Structure 1
Amino acid sequence: MVVAAVSDFGPVLFDGTGQAIYVFDVEKTSQPRCYGSCAVAWPPVLTDGAPLAGDRVEEALLGTTRRSDGTTQVTYDGHPLYFYAHEGKDEVKCHDVFLNGGTWYAVQPDGDRAPTPST
């Protein structure tokens, strides 16, 4: 289940347990590029069936893609989704952070990246 909830960056996507969901800016299509040590730090959002749209999530933007190991990864607006391994429930620690060769962004319910905080 993918839901939208309020964060420091406005409404962003979380899974049903409150884990924040991210996209990786180097992935321009639904094909995942985060494997190995990248996927240890940024575990893919996986599913055994069709992903479910919860509160304020656009069902039409949810989809899936096949990973090289045969698992099924959830996509949103055509982009693979990931968690950050070092976050707890309702935390969004890695929005607009450069790691593993690209920048990671929390995702708004419309599929766009969440706004970058002002400095």
Structure 2
Amino acid sequence: MGNRAGTAAAATVSLLAAVLGGCSDDGGSSGPASATPSATGAAASGTVATASSPLGTILVDGEGRTLYLWEADTSSKSTCDGDCATAWPPATVTGKPVAGEGVKASLLGTTTRDDGRKEITYNGHPLYRYAGDTGAGDTNGQGSNGFGAAWYVLDTAGNKITKAPPSPSPSDNGGY
């Protein structure tokens, strides 16, 4: 990525962070995951797959975007609504979620959100994306403490990974 593109990406992330205000992130960023995203629109199909990242093997959606759990969810029922769901969009599906490579189908499920949509769960955790992740493999939400509880990526067993994301290098323009 050229300097110009990196600067534009950093500006976009900074603007998004300012708009979302209620979310904090530690400014960490990781490089892209090595998973190959499936066909366009796979997120709508409810595909959950795995990707290799600096945090280990993590869960991603069908487009390669990182999936997170929120510690405020103490059951399979999602408690992230309103501004929270804008900053942390729930991973929803219209049918049944699909287990991609490395994902245990027996751990996939759904929960009905207050708005009636079905949110994908994994090992009982409702799954979310982070609006501050601008591309496949980004883990900018890792360890964030937005909306009163911590957000973490998940491993293939559906457990949170608490490892901190690597600090951005000065050349990737990822600082805030």
Q: TM-score, normalised by structure 1?
A: 0.95
- Structure with more strand by fraction: 1
Instruction: State the 4+ residue runs in structure 1 displaced beyond 2 angstroms.
Output: none
- SS at 1:97's partner residue? coil
Of 122, 145, 148, the residue aligned with 1:98 is 145
Q: Which has the larger radius of gyration?
A: 2
Asked if residue 71 in structure 1 is aligned to residue 104 in structure 2, the reply is: no
- Structure 2, unpaired ranges of 5+: 1-46, 167-176
Letter in 2 for 1:21: L
Asked if residue 85 in structure 1 is aligned to residue 131 in structure 2, the reply is: yes
- SS at 2:150's partner residue? strand
- SS at 2:137's partner residue? coil
Displacement of 1:94 in angstroms is 1.2
Cross-structure match for 2:26: none
- Structure 1, unpaired ranges of 5+: none
Q: TM-score, normalised by structure 2?
A: 0.65
- Structure with more helix by fraction: 2
CA-based RMSD of the aligned residues comes to 1.4
Cα separation, partners in 2 of 1:65 and 1:118, compared to 1, 3 Å:
closer
For residues 27-82 of structure 1, the C-alpha deviation after alignment (integer angstroms, 9 at most, x for no partner) is 11011100000000000000001100001101000000000111000000011000
Q: How many residues align?
A: 119
Cross-structure match for 2:160: 113
Q: What CA distance in whole angstroms lies between the structure 1 residues aligned with 2:60 and 2:78?
A: 19
Flag the structure with more relative contact order, 1 or 2, with Cα contacts below 8 A and sequence separation at least 6.
Answer: 1
Q: What CA distance in whole angstroms lies between the structure 2 residues aligned with 1:71 and 1:48?
A: 8
